[in-house]
């Protein structure tokens, strides 16, 4: 009788473990995520709003994930273009950049960190990098704590914004309490 109870217990326990493992979906890969804009939830800079990206747009022969946000009063419309080509992943974290444009003349670039939860991405934080810059590379240089290096070109003191950015810069940010903190 004791052997039967143990056997039934093992079968029930094994079935429960199998069911749990079978129900857990593997995380979606970065390659898949950059083709599915609706998985990306982005915090709109200078607001308390978040949006889901809605489409893929080709800019300069590269795919960008795109979404739009309109202020509640309808006065301003912000478009976000997430650079899928710059995205790098380390474990559950993805670092990339995005650009915002609105009714003004600026094109504002942000470094962004996302955390993957199954097939959805939560935008943990964004940090402003510059206006009308050229981001060359984003790399995750350390996993614990998460540290991200961004290489880009910005405008020199005497370079008008109408000309290409020409001054090379590098910065390293650490993810600390869901904020990107510039390292000295």
Q: Taking a C-beta distance cutoff of 8 angstroms, is the pair 175, 93 a contact? A: yes
Q: Is residue 11 part of a domain?
A: no
Q: Is residue 13 part of a domain?
A: no
Q: Is residue 137 part of a domain?
A: yes
Q: Taking a C-beta distance cutoff of 8 angstroms, is the pair 55, 66 a contact? A: yes
- List CB contacts of 60: < 8 A, sequence separation 6 or more: none
Q: Is residue 25 part of a domain?
A: no
Q: Is residue 74 part of a domain?
A: yes
pLDDT band at 60 (very low <50, low <70, confident <90, very high): confident
How many domains does the chain contain in total? 1
Q: What is the pLDDT of residue 21?
A: 46
Q: Is residue 132 part of a domain?
A: yes
pLDDT band at 126 (very low <50, low <70, confident <90, very high): very high
Q: What is the pLDDT of residue 22?
A: 45
Residue 43 φ/ψ, nearest 5 degrees: -75, 125
Q: Is residue 24 part of a domain?
A: no
Q: Is residue 23 part of a domain?
A: no
Which of 29-38, 42-51, 60-69, 173-182 shows the lowest mean pLDDT across its residues? 29-38
Strand order in the sheet with 167-176: 134-143, 146-154, 167-176, 179-182
Q: What is the pLDDT of residue 66?
A: 96
The CA–CA distances, whole Å, from 94 to 146, 173, 175 equal 10, 14, 12
Structure tokens at 52: 């889901």
Mean pLDDT score, 119-128 = 92
**Which pLDDT tens digit goes with each residue over 98-111?**
999 987 778 999 99
- Provide the domain limits for residue 65: 30-183
Q: Taking a C-beta distance cutoff of 8 angstroms, is the pair 77, 47 a contact? A: no
Max CA pair span of the chain: 89
CB-count burial class (<10 Å; 0-12, 13-18, 19+) for 145? exposed
Query: How many Cα atoms occupy the beta-carbon half-sphere of 154 within 13 Å?
Result: 13
How high is the mean pLDDT of the chain?
87
Q: Taking a C-beta distance cutoff of 8 angstroms, is the pair 169, 118 a contact? A: no
Query: How much is the pTM?
Result: 0.82
């Amino acid at each position: 009788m004791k052997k039967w109870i143990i056997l039934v217990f093992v079968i029930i326990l094994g079935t429960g473990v199998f069911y749990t493992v079978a129900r857990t979906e593997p995380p979606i890969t970065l390659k898949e995520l950059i083709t599915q804009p609706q998985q990306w939830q982005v915090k709109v800079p200078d607001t308390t709003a978040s949006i889901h990206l809605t489409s893929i747009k080709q800019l300069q022969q590269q795919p960008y994930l795109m979404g739009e946000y309109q202020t509640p009063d309808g006065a301003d419309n912000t478009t976000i273009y997430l650079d899928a080509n710059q995205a790098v992943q380390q474990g559950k974290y993805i670092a990339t950049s995005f650009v915002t444009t609105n009714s003004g003349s600026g094109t504002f670039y942000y470094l962004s960190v996302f955390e993957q939860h199954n097939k959805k991405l939560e935008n943990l934080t964004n940090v402003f990098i510059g206006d009308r810059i050229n981001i060359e590379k984003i790399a995750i240089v350390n996993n614990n704590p998460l540290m991200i290096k961004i290489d880009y070109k910005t405008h020199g003191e005497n370079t008008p914004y109408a000309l290409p950015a020409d001054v090379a810069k590098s910065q390293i940010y650490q993810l600390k309490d869901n904020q990107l903190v510039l390292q000295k």
